[in-house]
Amino acid sequence: MAGALADWAAKAAHQLSPRTGGEADARPRHIAIIMDGNGRWATARGMPRAFGHSAGVQALRNTVEAAGDLGIEVLTVYAFSTENWRRPPDEIEALFGLLRGFIRSDLTRLDRAGVRIRVLGEREGVPADILTLMDQAEKQTEGNTIMTLVIAFNYGGQAEIARATQEIARQAAAGLIDPETIGPDTIAQFLPSRDWPNPDLVIRTSGEQRLSNFLIWQSAYAEFLVFDTLWPDFGRPQLEEALQVFAKRNRRYGGV
């Protein structure tokens, strides 16, 4: 390979696998989790679904702590999707209340532990006081470097890509971007996730084998791992198991 093609291939390989110096991808830098199964967990106990979501918050706490200990740089969790608006109003209210409660009760502890909080998703439809709490959490923790916790709330991958495309089109119309130069890099740069590496590993609990519109751009080359465990039962042992499975995967990024 020579010239432009070699340059392009080297650049693409670097972006897909940002570790340098020949270091193996033995440990994921970024784990993204679809926290599924709260409803079934509650139903199995004869309890309302909101009880399962509440137990899910504790599983989230355990998982954040374990991820920090295990040296994970970024943990993204899918807490509320744009499709979750189809749920009954009381369940939506319960999920909003849990996010409110989580930020209020855990922000100080997470901040002291060096966790940076970022929020992904549409702001429209989210109650104003929750938006204020999200902004406060992001601002208060912006200097933290131990781990980034990304909370995907009112999030949908397709809408996120559409928004980026709108902005690119706007800039192209204004003459700021040459349409001929638009490529995957351009789109990645217009997504809010441009500040952190793409997920290396996507985990879904409760046995379902779907991405459900979660980080669909960023997960193009992520390993996918499904646990039968329902989310409220997920924690450190399952995360350790996930790391062991990941270390045995052979990531080829389309190569051989």
Q: Is 60 in the site for ligand FPP (CB under 6 A)?
A: yes
Alpha-carbon distance 48 to 38, whole Å? 10
Q: Which residue type occupies 170?
A: R
Name which position in 25, 31, 39, 242 contacts ligand FPP (CB under 6 A).
39
> Binding to ligand FPP by residue 156, rule CB under 6 A?
no
Binding segment toward ligand FPP, per CB under 6 A, in 37-45, 138-146, 217-225, 238-246? 37-45
Distances, alpha carbon 246 to alpha carbons 25, 31, 115, 166, 232, in Å: 9, 10, 23, 36, 22
The residues annotated as belonging to the active site are 36, 84
CA atoms of 182 and 167, how far apart (whole Å): 12
User: Pairing state of beta strands 223-226 and 201-204?
Assistant: parallel
Sole window of 7-15, 30-38, 182-190, 245-253 interacting with ligand FPP (rule: CB under 6 A)? 30-38
> Is position 227 an interface residue for ligand FPP (rule: CB under 6 A)?
no
* Contact flag: residue 25 with ligand FPP (CB under 6 A): no
Interaction of residue 215 with ligand FPP, rule CB under 6 A? no
Angle between helices 49-69 and 236-248 (to 10 degrees): 60
Question: Cα–Cα distance between 189 and 112 in angstroms, integer?
Answer: 30
Positions that interact with ligand FPP (CB under 6 A): 35-40, 49, 53, 56-57, 60, 79, 84, 95, 98-99, 102, 206, 231
